[in-house]
Structure 1
Amino acid sequence: MTKTVDIAALANVLQEAAYKEILPRFRNLGSGDVRMKSEAIDLVTEADEAAERLIKARVAEFAPDALFVGEETVAAEPELLYKIADADLAIIVDPIDGTFNYAAGLSLFGVMASVVSKGETIAGIIYDPLGNDWVIAEKGSGAWFCRADGTQDRLACAASVSLENLVGCASTTYYAQDDRRLVMGNMSKVRIATSYRCAAHEYRGFAAGHFHFLMYQKLMPWDHLAGTLIAQEAGAYAARFDGSPYLPQHVDGGLLLAPDRDTWEELRREVFTV
C-alpha cells in the first residue's frame, strides 16, 4: 500500500519556514552568512540551513517514519540519496531553490518539497515566499495554483506551437564545453531560451502555460521531483534524454519537458542532441 502524508500540513510547513527563517534574512545576509559549496555559482546561506532544520523538525512531528532528504542534509550525508528509491515514504526538500538569486537579493527563489513512496513521486509542492502561494500536485489529481485565502485554480500546460515559436528555459551549465557550444547554437532555432537560475519558478511558469519547454542536465531530486510531477499533472510530457521516465533515484541523464511527445521529440532532435 502506498504511503502518503498530509499535503496541506507539508504546504503549511514550507510557509512557516519562509516566514520565520527565509524572508527575515532576504536582503539582510551578512558577509559570513553566504558560503560557497562546489563552485562560485553553488552557494548555501544561513537561511537555507535554518529553513531546512525547521522543516525537518516539523516533518518529524506529522510523518515520523518518513525518510527526510534535504539538500543541505545530503551535503553532510551523501548516502541519503541512495535510500530514496527503496523508502516506503520519503520527503525530499529544497529549503531555498534559487539560492544564487536569493543571496544576490533577487526575488526569484522558492521552497520545494516532494513525497516519494516506493520509488514513485506521489506529491509535489512549490511555494513562493514573496507571493505567499503554492503550486501543488498529487499524482492523478491534477496540478493546482493555491492562494493563501484558500482559492485555487487548476493548471494546464501551454499548447504546442512550431519550433521557431517555442519559448522555454534551458540550463546548459553542466554540458561539456563543446556540447554547450553546440546546444546554445541550436537554441537559436526556438523563439526564446532563457534561464531563471531557479527551477521552482521555471516549473511554476511551465505548469501555468507560460513556457513550452524546460531542459535540465543535473537531476538532483530536490530540484526536479516536485516540478516534474506538477508539470505532468498539468498535461506535460517529461522524460530523460534517452526517452526513459525520470525517477526519484536519477541524478543524471538529462530531463526535457514539453507540452506533448511530438514537441519533445522535435526539441530533442533539433536542439538538445549532442
Structure 2
Amino acid sequence: MLEALRTQDSGDTAIISTTPIAPEDAAAAAAPGAEAVDAPGLDLSSLDLAAVEAAVRRAAADEIMPRFRQLAAEDIVEKNGPHDLVTVADRLAEEHLTAALTALLPGSRVVGEEAVHADPTVLDALHGDAPVWIVDPVDGTRQFVHGDPGFATLVALAHRGEVLASWTYAPALGLMAIARRGAGAELNGVPLHTGTPDPDAVLDVATSHYDFTDDDQKRVLAALETGGIAPRPCGSAGLEYLHIARGEIDATAFSWENAWDHAAGLLLVHEAGGASGTVAGQPFRIEGGNALPFTAARDAETARRILGLLAAAN
C-alpha cells in the first residue's frame, strides 16, 4: 500500500516524496500566464493556459451565475434519484466549455459529466491517444440548487491517463485554483501548500456523503469513526480537495471514482505537496477500475493512516 502513494516530486509519480516544491519556485512555476504544459510525447506548446482560465470564468459568468438562486422548478431534473440532480446551468455550461476548450486545443476530446450521462461511450476518450478535457460544469449541484455558494466548475487536461493541468473555480466564492504537473499549485495567484497536520490534532476528514453510499460503503467508511479522526459528509468534492490543498482539512475518503469529480482536485493536492492512494495499494487511475475507497491527504503519513483503517475494514 505505502509504495503506491502518489506525492509531488518534481512533477513525477514517486514513492512517498519527501521533497516538496520550494515556495519561491512554486510562485514562479505556477504563474498561469501563457506558459505551456509539458507532456511526454505531446506538444502543447501552443496552449495558452490563461485562455483556458478565461474560458472557465466565461462559462461560469454566462451560464452558471445568472441562474444561481434564480432556478425555476423546470430547470432542475433528477438523474438517478432525488439526490442526483442536474440543472439547465450544468448542461449549458458544459456545452459552453466543450466548444471553448476544443477550440483552444484542436484534436482534443471532452469527457464531461453530462455528456457521459447521455452517452457512456464518451468515457472511451480517457483510454485514447488524444488529449482530453475532463469537465464537471457544476460540482456540487445540490448546493447550487439550494442557493449554497459551495459549488465549483472543475476542468482538468489529461493525456494517456496523466493529468497535466487543472482549474478549480468557485465563482460564488471568488476562488480560482490552478495546478500544473510538476510546477505547483496556486489559489488566486498565491502558491498553495498542504502543510502537515499537528501530531496531536484530530484529523478532519471529508467522506462520501451518506446519501450517495450503499450499506457496504457506509460500513467501510465507518472505520474512520475512531479516536483522533473526525469524519464528516463531503460537500462539493472539488472544494474538499481545495480545502486539503489549503491545509484547511486533512484528508478525504471517497467511494466513487468519476473522473470529473477527482481529476482536477487530485492534481491540485499533489502539486500542493499532498498524497493519495487506494485501498489496493495503487495510485488512483482517472480511467477507472480503482479499488475503493481511496484517499487524498495533506501528507503521506496521513494518507497511510486513512488507508490503513479503510483497508482493514474493506
Q: TM-score, normalised by structure 1?
A: 0.91
Rounded to whole Å, the distance in 1 between the matches of 2:297 and 2:73 is: 40
Relative to structure 1, the CA distance from residue 262 to residue 191 in structure 2 (aligned partners, 3 Å threshold; closer, same or farther) is closer
1:66 offset after TM fit, Å?
0.3
- Correspondences of 1:72-221 after superposition (within 5 Å): 72-146=114-188, 152-162=189-199, 165-173=202-210, 175-181=213-219, 183-184=221-222, 186-221=224-259
Contact 1:68/1:91, CA 8 A, preserved across alignment: yes
SS where residue 35 of structure 1 aligns?
A: strand
Question: Which residue, out of 249, 258, 276, partners 1:238?
Answer: 276
1:104 offset after TM fit, Å?
1.1
Rounded to whole Å, the distance in 2 between the matches of 1:217 and 1:178 is: 10
Amino-acid identity (%): 28
What residue number does 1:149 align with?
none
Contact 1:218/1:251, CA 8 A, preserved across alignment: no
What residue number does 1:260 align with?
299
Post-superposition Cα deviations, 1:59-94, rounded to whole Å, max 9, x if no partner, equal: 232112101111111111211112212233111110
Taking CA–CA contacts closer than 8 Å with sequence separation of 6 or more, which of the two structures ends up with the larger relative contact order?
2
Q: TM-score, normalised by structure 2?
A: 0.80
Q: Which 10-residue stretch deviates more, 17-26 or 166-175?
A: 166-175
Rounded to whole Å, the distance in 1 between the matches of 2:301 and 2:102 is: 43
1:162 offset after TM fit, Å?
4.0
Structure 1: gaps (5+ residues) = 147-151
Post-superposition Cα deviations, 1:175-212, rounded to whole Å, max 9, x if no partner, equal: 44155145336324334322342012111111011111
Structure 2: gaps (5+ residues) = 1-40
What residue number does 1:23 align with?
65
SS where residue 64 of structure 1 aligns?
A: coil
Relative to structure 1, the CA distance from residue 249 to residue 96 in structure 2 (aligned partners, 3 Å threshold; closer, same or farther) is same
Rounded to whole Å, the distance in 2 between the matches of 1:42 and 1:162 is: 38
Deviating beyond 6 angstroms after TM superposition, the runs of 4 or more aligned structure 1 residues are none
Rounded to whole Å, the distance in 2 between the matches of 1:181 and 1:264 is: 19
Letter of the 2:203 partner, please give it.
L
Contact 1:98/1:108, CA 8 A, preserved across alignment: yes
Rounded to whole Å, the distance in 2 between the matches of 1:221 and 1:22 is: 21
Cα root mean square deviation, aligned: 1.9
What residue number does 2:32 align with?
none
Contact 1:17/1:54, CA 8 A, preserved across alignment: yes
Q: Which 10-residue stretch deviates more, 2-11 or 52-61?
A: 2-11
Post-superposition Cα deviations, 1:146-193, rounded to whole Å, max 9, x if no partner, equal: 2xxxxx111011303448611121115454415514533632433432
Contact 2:76/2:86, CA 8 A, preserved across alignment: yes
Rounded to whole Å, the distance in 1 between the matches of 2:106 and 2:192 is: 32
What residue number does 1:2 align with?
42
1:264 offset after TM fit, Å?
1.6
Q: Which 10-residue stretch deviates more, 203-212 or 153-162?
A: 153-162
SS where residue 183 of structure 2 aligns?
A: coil
Post-superposition Cα deviations, 1:37-61, rounded to whole Å, max 9, x if no partner, equal: 0111111000000111111111232
Rounded to whole Å, the distance in 2 between the matches of 1:78 and 1:118 is: 19
Rounded to whole Å, the distance in 1 between the matches of 2:258 and 2:163 is: 14
Rounded to whole Å, the distance in 2 between the matches of 1:185 and 1:136 is: 33
